Chain A
């Protein structure tokens, strides 16, 4: 069984950088793609981007200028940085394993990040 666990600050100030880490257990991060997805309170899902174990990335064009996803295969972790955050970035952030056929087969439980002064 594959488990993913998000971690990071639950409160970020406007204009600062949101930073989250996803720790993977039960599978080597040295395979598949690994994605970040978010869900504003009461709203739908938005794909943020993914990283391959090789380090290659692909981001949602609507967020591309502010997003960086990185990977640390030695720790079986991958991370998200979202810069210049505003209240509109308040959401539950999920990490997910992404199958080669581009579906999300394992998800973390999610972590709520609130952007507020």
Chain B
């Protein structure tokens, strides 16, 4: 049911900067804010970025979010081994009148 499109995987080496894209439509990303969640292996998702580019307390500033039109991106700079996780974008969808998640991107730290 994922109407938000993410690449299934991404990779980088320690210290690198990686970006993960999230593409939607006018009824979701185009008219609502985007949130990002990090899911470490075997754990519950954790809020990483909210309202396009805000970080909850405790989230390192290596993580940043941006949005333009109907697309959004998550950037991770200074990649670390502990960043290896699944990342999900999410946004409210006005047509669905509910929350939509992207399919998730598995980040591999080489």
Contacts and interface: CB of A to CB of B under 8 A. Distances in A.
Interface of A: 35, 44-47, 49, 58-62, 94, 99, 101-110
Given A45-B104, A47-B100, A108-B44, 8 more contacts: A44-B103, A45-B37, A49-B98, A99-B50, A101-B33, A104-B37, A105-B47, A107-B44
Contacts, number: 61
The 6 closest A-B pairs by CB, nearest first: A47-B99, A103-B35, A45-B101, A107-B44, A103-B50, A102-B92
B32 interface: yes
Contact of B45 (A60, A94, A101, A102): A94
B47 to A, nearest CB: 5
Contacts of B35: 103-104
Given A44-B88, A45-B104, A46-B1, A102 B99 contact: yes
Contact of A62 (B1, B33, B43, B92): B1
Contacts of B97: 58, 61
In the complex, which of the residues A49, A101, A104 has the most CB atoms of chain B within 10 Å of its own CB atom? A104
A110 B56 contact: no
A61 B33 CA distance: 21
A70 to B, nearest CB: 18
Contacts of B101: 44-47
B47 A104 contact: yes
A102 B37 contact: no
Given A60-B98, A61-B98, A101 B50 contact: yes
Interface in B1-41: 1-2, 32-33, 35, 37
Contacts of B33: 101, 103
Contacts of A101: 33, 50-51
A94 B99 CA distance: 14
Contact of A107 (B46, B56, B104): B46
